[in-house]
């Protein structure tokens, strides 16, 4: 497994508070079969001003501690960039990509997208970035109108759903939206977005839930195959035929069940 969204760097945002919490999480991840993960602390102008230098320093601290512990796991640098109006003019986002790739993990306002959000994504793509929207299922605009996600995918934006969303960690509405996105084939990655506040690593739990309902390869596309392509900076399909096939089969199956009861 490759986890592309974590807040494991110590004392840099609202994630891990210290190096011991970070190492505890790394050991849990290793135990559960994670081979690689990206550290993605928040970058929010005026709130978490985590410049590339600060991230690099914390990254060095964590990787040195991991080496000291002897954990066999690869750590990649990244940031979760908060998109706000004017950010492209203010910041050189090239230094905020995931690892050495063109993929960049972004988030924005949960309670209402900025009015120019489509323009921001357009400019990002135009500049050669491959934006990945973190936890689309948690934004009020998307909860109200899931088709917005399809529109964004057509505009070359990838989607990363949080593992906890499938399990109801963020409430019923978010869970419903996550499953809806899954069934529509509007997901490219599932990641933990772990903040190290609980002694439980949720990505393998969500993966297991998916495995119990769908063929193994379905969950692996989101937790293994696509995330690995970020490490090698390979292109990922916006609409994956295998995912759509499963969704359609599932819908057909559900349709048959429904018919039995109507
Ligand atoms: Fe996050």
Secondary structure (DSSP) of 142-169: HHH-THHHHHHHHTT-EEEEEHHHHTTT
10 CA → ligand 1 middle, Å: 14
93 CA → ligand 1 middle, Å: 17
CB contact at 8 A, 160 and 133:
yes
Extract the tokens encoding 165.
């969303």
* pLDDT confidence of residue 249: 58
* pLDDT confidence of residue 262: 45
163 CA → ligand 1 middle, Å: 12
Q: How far apart are CA 232 and CA 136, in angstroms?
A: 24
| pLDDT higher than 80, residue 248 | no
* pLDDT tens readout for residues 15-54: 999 999 999 999 999 999 999 999 999 999 999 999 999 9
Q: Which long-range contacts (CB under 8 A, 24 or more apart) does 203-207 make?
A: 203/1, 203/3, 203/29, 203/32, 203/34, 203/163, 204/1, 204/32, 204/33, 205/163, 205/167, 206/163, 206/164, 206/166, 206/167, 207/1, 207/163
Q: What phi-psi label fits residue 99: left (phi over 0), alpha (psi between -120 and 50 degrees) or beta? A: left
253 CA → ligand 1 middle, Å: 35
- Residues with Cβ within 8 Å of residue 256, at least 6 apart in sequence: none
Tell me the three state secondary structure of residue 130: strand
| pLDDT higher than 90, residue 136 | yes
Average pLDDT, the chain: 92
Kindly indicate the confidence band of residue 217, based on its pLDDT and cuts at 50, 70 and 90.
confident
pTM of the model: 0.93
| pLDDT higher than 90, residue 198 | no
**CA contacts within 13 A on the Cβ side of 118:** 10
107 CA → ligand 1 middle, Å: 8
Tell me the three state secondary structure of residue 241: helix
Spans of all domains in the chain: 2-261
Q: Which CATH number fits domain 2-261: 3.40.50.300, 3.40.50.720, 3.20.20.140, 1.10.3720.10?
A: 3.20.20.140
């Amino acid at each position: 497994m490759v986890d592309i969204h974590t807040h494991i760097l110590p004392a840099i945002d609202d994630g891990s508070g210290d190096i011991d919490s970070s190492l505890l999480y790394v050991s849990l991840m290793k135990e559960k079969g994670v081979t690689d993960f990206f550290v993605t602390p928040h970058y929010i102008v005026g709130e978490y001003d985590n410049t590339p230098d600060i991230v690099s320093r914390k990254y060095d601290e964590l990787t040195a501690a991991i080496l000291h512990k002897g954990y066999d796991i690869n750590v990649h640098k990244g940031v979760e960039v908060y998109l706000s109006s004017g950010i492209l003019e203010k910041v050189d986002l090239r230094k905020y990509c995931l690892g050495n790739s063109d993929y960049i993990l972004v988030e924005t306002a949960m309670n209402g997208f900025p009015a120019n959000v489509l323009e921001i994504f357009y400019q990002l793509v135009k500049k050669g970035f491959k934006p990945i929207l973190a936890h689309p299922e948690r934004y009020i605009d998307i909860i109200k109108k899931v088709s917005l996600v399809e529109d964004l995918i057509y505009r070359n934006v990838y989607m990363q759903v949080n593992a906890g969303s499938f399990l109801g960690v963020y409430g019923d509405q978010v869970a419903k939206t996550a499953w809806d996105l899954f069934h529509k084939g509007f997901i490219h990655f599932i990641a933990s977005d772990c903040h190290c506040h609980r002694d439980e690593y949720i990505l393998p739990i969500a993966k297991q839930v998916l495995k119990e309902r769908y063929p193994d390869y379905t969950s692996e596309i989101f937790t293994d195959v696509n995330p690995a392509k970020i490490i090698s900076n390979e292109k990922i399909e916006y609409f994956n035929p295998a995912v759509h096939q499963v969704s359609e089969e599932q819908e057909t199956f559900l349709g048959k069940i429904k018919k039995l009861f109507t």
